[in-house]
Amino acid sequence: MSPEAKKEKKFALTLPAEELMACGHLACQGCGATLAMRYMLKALGQKTVLCIPACCWAVIDGPYPYSSLDVPIYHCAFETAASTATGVKAGLEATGDTETTVVAWAGDGGTFDIGIQALSGAAERNDDIIYVCYDNEAYMNTGIQRSSATPYGAWTTTTPVKHFKNRPKKDIVAILAAHRIPYIATASVSHPEDFVKKMKKAKDIRGTRFFHVYAPCPTGWKSRPEDTIKLARMAVQNGYFPLYEIEDGEKTTVNLKLKERKPVEDFLRLQGRFRHLKPAEVAAVQAEVDARWERLMRSCAG
């Protein structure tokens, strides 16, 4: 193979051509969550049903009687993504449909906060669902309020700059890993091939599968819509949001190994929500990212 052909092959898009998401949705410009949905459906295909609680996607899909998706959706209560999906799966099984993939699709508030009880219950029972948390790191649909997924240092409307969030983001992946479910993966809209590959892998696994998808939000992060992919990629490359998977709660594999991690400061400076951070606070973010990265490396080695 010629060097040109090799280069061509390396950059060829491997995403399925099937489109189950139409234009006409109601997302903001540069919305990461919208891309995440599109990629997930490309991986799972049409035999999929979605349970979507209160979150940006409750609106993005479109108001009654419209829907921008070509798969069925049940709009469920805020804290019930997992429990509704569990019921849907049981109902489909009871009526003879054993093939359809049932997905709970929730934001970070619906996952890290109000929905964590139902999620933990489903994970402990190992209910046969895929739970996807698209994480834009705050309650964006209600107007940018902090959630337990909001990172240290971030401004939100309930963590004003004089009183910014001073606690780290909850480690939702570790919580799910502690349930020893068969499959957990992180994914980012900047790496669609990696996301689709892992989602396809998850589709063929039975039991509870959990995805933590990084989904930048220009509206809430005070970033430029055209920087969404750039920010997501920077977060992956500086170790702020590493791409990895955990099988059976034990076997951790880093999907994108980083020879050197870029400083987190460049990433923070592109977002208005971190504008107020002083050098010492930026250093604190860097230290936290470094510590997290070290933990991840240790868990891969162990």
Out of 33, 36, 56, 69, point to the residue binding another protein (CB under 8 A). Answer: 69
Q: Which stretch binds another protein (CB under 8 A): 122-130, 145-153, 187-195, 209-217?
A: 122-130
Determine if 182 is a binding residue for another protein (CB under 8 A).
no
| Residue 255: count of CB within 10 angstroms of its CB | 17
CB 171 within 8 A of CB 250: no
Out of 27, 33, 35, 80, point to the residue binding another protein (CB under 8 A). Answer: 80
Q: Which stretch binds another protein (CB under 8 A): 78-86, 201-209, 220-228, 278-286?
A: 78-86
Q: Least CB distance from residue 17 to another protein, whole Å?
A: 19
Determine if 120 is a binding residue for another protein (CB under 8 A).
yes
How many whole angstroms separate alpha carbon 69 and alpha carbon 62?
9
Out of 55, 61, 146, 245, point to the residue binding another protein (CB under 8 A). Answer: 61
How many whole angstroms separate alpha carbon 163 and alpha carbon 12?
46
- Give, as one character, the DSSP assignment of residue 260: S
**In terms of CB distance, is 73 or 177 closer to another protein?**
73
CB 161 within 8 A of CB 292: no
| CA distances in angstroms from 201 to 25, 40, 236, listed in the order given | 28, 12, 21
Determine if 18 is a binding residue for another protein (CB under 8 A).
no
Determine if 117 is a binding residue for another protein (CB under 8 A).
yes
Out of 30, 38, 83, 228, point to the residue binding another protein (CB under 8 A). Answer: 83
Closest among 246, 116, 243, 100 to 182, alpha carbons compared: 246
Determine if 152 is a binding residue for another protein (CB under 8 A).
no
Q: Which stretch binds another protein (CB under 8 A): 66-74, 226-234, 250-258, 292-300?
A: 66-74
Output the six-digit token pair for 94: 């009871």
How many whole angstroms separate alpha carbon 266 and alpha carbon 148?
24
CB 102 within 8 A of CB 122: no
**Residues forming the site for another protein (CB under 8 A):** 46-49, 51, 58-59, 61-67, 69-77, 79-80, 82-95, 97, 100, 117-118, 120-121, 124-125, 127
